Amino acid sequence: VAEDPAHADKAYYIEPARVEQAQRMIAEGRRSGIQFVLPVDFVLQDGRAAEKIGPGDQQFDIGPKTSELFEKKIGEFLAQKQGEIASGRKPVAFHNGVFGMFEKPQFETGTKRFMSQLKRLKDAGVEVYIGGGEGGTALEQYGQPDWVTHVFTAGGTVLNALGSQPVPYLVALRMASRR
């Protein structure tokens, strides 16, 4: 429904090209050995938790089952990385963004609950980075700065830097330094 052009005027409309892009990215990631953990339930605009987002509904947070799933998967990750951590190698976790409209109390639970998982990771010996913006704001609101290794101030820029996109201000600095 969300990608049906008949719903292009609705807030929940997703362009078919974006759906295809997401499907390609997931397939490519899986081929590279990346395990994706996707939400299994959602908190909708009226505050109810649901396992599907129906026509006319909007997601404003992850649901309680998803929070439990994320906590379980973090536990599995820590168990898997225990040997690396014990040998002094620090695995890296990168968190970007928030899970919902956390600015509104009725939609803050998923993001709030996840902040403690960042602390759990760091306490276990993982280097934890937040990609700025709202993620940094959520950490300030629901946690402590020392719960993570570093908070970047511009999440989109960090993602570009980690990917293959040039970061405009870094390009400008490099060019200026060559003069």
Tell me the per-residue pLDDT of 13-50, one tens digit each, with 9 for 90 and over: 778 888 899 999 999 999 998 888 999 999 999 999 99
Mean of the per-residue pLDDT values for the chain? 87
Task: Please choose, from the candidates 67, 80, 2, the residue with its C-alpha nearest in 3D space to the C-alpha of residue 35.
Answer: 80
Coil, strand, or helix at residue 100?
Answer: coil
| Average of per-residue pLDDT across 72-90 | 95
Single pTM value for the model: 0.79
Express as a percent the part of the chain with pLDDT over 90.
60
Task: Give the model confidence (pLDDT) of 117-151 as tens digits.
Answer: 999 999 999 999 898 789 999 999 999 999 999 88
- DSSP letter at 163 equals T
Token pair 């709202």 is found at 134
- The topology (CATH level 3) of 37-177 is Rossmann fold (3.40.50)
CB 73 within 8 A of CB 62: no
Query: Is the model more confident about 161 or about 76?
Result: 76
Q: Token pair for residue 143?
A: 């946690």
CB atoms near residue 132 (< 10 Å): 20
- The dihedral region occupied by 62, where left means phi > 0, alpha psi between -120 and 50, and beta the remainder, is beta
Cα 145 versus chain centre, distance: 18
CB 28 within 8 A of CB 49: no
Q: Which residues pair with 58 in a beta bridge?
A: none
CA atoms within 13 A on the CB side of 111: 25
- Domain boundaries along the sequence of the chain: 1-36, 37-177
